[in-house]
Amino acid sequence: MNQEHLLEVRNLTTAFRIQGNLFPAVRGIDLHLDRNETLALVGESGCGKSITALSIMRLIPQPPGEIVSGEVFMKGIDLLTLPEERMRKIRGNKMAMIFQEPMTSLNPVLTVGFQIMEALIYHQDVTNVKAKELAIEIMNQVKIPSASRRFKDYPHQFSGGQRQRVMIAMALACRPEIILADEPTTALDVTIQAQILYLLAELKREYSMAMIFITHNLGIVASIADRVAVMYGGEIVEVAPVGDLFEKPRHPYTEMLLRAVPRVDLNIEKLSYIPGQVPSIDRMPPGCHYAPRCDLRMELCDRQDADLVPLPGEPAHRVRCWIRGDSREIQDKP
C-alpha cells in the first residue's frame, strides 16, 4: 500500500439505515494526510464532516450506521479491517479526537486530572505516579494555570475555554500521531477561539502531529490549514492547498461559500448566501449533489455526478464538477 501518507482514506462510504433502507451519509471519500500537515474539512452542517472523522476512528454507532465500503490506511495498515481489540489500542493512543462540546465531553464526577491521566494508564504502561507527573506536564502545556493544584478539581469548576484545554490535554496525553479535531472551537467565545487555535497549532508543531480539523468557519481554515477539503452532501467537492482554494476556488459551491463570508473591511449592504439547503441523506439528487442550488447547473449535472479529478497542471487541486469552476469551458466537457 501507499506508504507515503500517514493517513489515507480511499473510497470511504458510510451509510445509515433509515426505515430499512441504507442511505449513504458520506460517499466515496478520498483523502490523505501527511506528517505535520493540517487538513481542514469544511462544509455546512450535515455535509458529512463529522461522519467522515467518526468513520476513520470507527466510532460510527452500529446500527443504524454502517461503513459500506472503503479503506482507511494508517501507515499502511487498514484500520477498517482491524479487529476491535487492536483498533482500541489505536484510538486515543495513535489517533485521538477532540470534540466540539467541552461542556459535556468531560465526565462530571471524575477529577480533571484523573481523566487526563486515564488514557496514559490505559494505553501506555506507566505507573500512577508517572502518569500524574505527565498529566500535570500536559496541563501546563495546554496552559491551565496552576496545573498541579487544579489536578484534583472537577469539570464544573472549569470555564468552557479551560475545559476545551482539558479536552486537548486528554487527546494529546499519549502523544498521538493524528489528531481529529471536530469543531473544537465552535462552542467557545471568539477571543477564546483564537487562543485555542493558537494553542493547537503550537502543540501540533511541538509534537509533530498531523491534524484533520473540522470546521465550518473559513476564517479558521485560512489561519490554521495547510490543505482544505470542501465537503457537500456527503462528498468531497474540492481539495486544494489553502492558498489556491482561497485565491481560485474552482467548484461553484466553494466559490459561493467564500463569497458568503461576511467582510468587515467592505461596506456591504446585504450579506450573500447560498439559497436552499443541504438535502437530507434520504433525498440526495441522483446527479451532482449541489446541482439544485448551483447557478451554473447544466442538464448533465442532474443526471450524473462528476468525479473528483485534478485540475490540469495542478495535481494537488482536485474538483468534483463537470464545469470545473469555469463556465466558459462547458462546450468541451462530456
Partner 1 sequence: MSNVSTRFWNPLFARLWFVFNRNRISWIGVVLLLILVSLAVLAPVISPYNPVEQHVMDQFRGPSAKYWLGTDEYGRDLFTRIVWGARISLTVGTVSVILGMIIGSILGMYAGYKGGVRDEFIMRVMDVFMSIPTLLMGLFVVAVLGPSTMNLIIAIALTVVPRFARIARAPTVSIKERDYIEACRAMGFSDLRIMLVHVLPNILGDIMVMGSLWVATAVRIEASLSFIGLGVPPPTPTWGGMVREGFEKMLDSPGASIYPGIFILLTVFAFNLIGDGLRDVIDPRLRES
Quote the least distance from Cβ 92 to partner 1, whole Å: 3
Query: Cis peptide before 184, with omega less than 30 degrees from 0?
Result: no
Quote the least distance from Cβ 296 to partner 1, whole Å: 40
User: Do residues 311 and 319 touch, judged by C-beta distance below 8 A?
Assistant: yes
d(CA 31, CA 153): 40
Tell whether residue 167 is a contact of partner 1 (CB under 8 A).
yes
CA-closest candidate to residue 147, choices 157, 137, 134, 156: 137
Q: Which of residues 134-153 bind partner 1 (CB under 8 A)?
A: 152
- Closer of 64 and 286 to partner 1 (Cβ): 64
Determine the 3-state secondary structure of 329 from DSSP: helix
Tell whether residue 266 is a contact of partner 1 (CB under 8 A).
no
What 8-state DSSP symbol labels residue 286? S
d(CA 226, CA 240): 9
Quote the least distance from Cβ 57 to partner 1, whole Å: 6
Among 11, 45, 62, 128, binds partner 1 (CB under 8 A): 128
Quote the least distance from Cβ 64 to partner 1, whole Å: 13
Q: Which of residues 82-121 bind partner 1 (CB under 8 A)?
A: 87-93, 96-97, 99, 101, 104-111, 114, 118-119, 121
How many residues bind to partner 1 according to rule CB under 8 A? 33
Return phi, psi of residue 194, to 5°.
-60, -45
Quote the least distance from Cβ 269 to partner 1, whole Å: 41
Q: Where are the alpha helices (DSSP H) in 1-152?
A: 49-56, 84-90, 112-123, 128-141, 147-150
Quote the least distance from Cβ 138 to partner 1, whole Å: 14
Q: Which of residues 29-88 bind partner 1 (CB under 8 A)?
A: 57, 59, 87-88
Among 30, 126, 143, 154, binds partner 1 (CB under 8 A): 154
Residue 325 CB neighbours (<10 A)? 18
Quote the least distance from Cβ 103 to partner 1, whole Å: 9
> ∠ CA 127-170-49 to the nearest 5 degrees?
145
- Closer of 130 and 297 to partner 1 (Cβ): 130
CA-closest candidate to residue 65, choices 57, 76, 75: 57
Tell whether residue 246 is a contact of partner 1 (CB under 8 A).
no
Among 35, 75, 149, 156, binds partner 1 (CB under 8 A): 156
Determine the 3-state secondary structure of 281 from DSSP: helix
- Closer of 101 and 226 to partner 1 (Cβ): 101
CA-closest candidate to residue 300, choices 312, 313, 286: 286
Contacts of 58 (CB under 8 A, 6+ apart): 67, 79, 80, 87, 91
Residue ranges that bind partner 1, judged by CB under 8 A? 57, 59, 87-93, 96-97, 99, 101, 104-111, 114, 118-119, 121-123, 128, 152, 154, 156, 167, 170
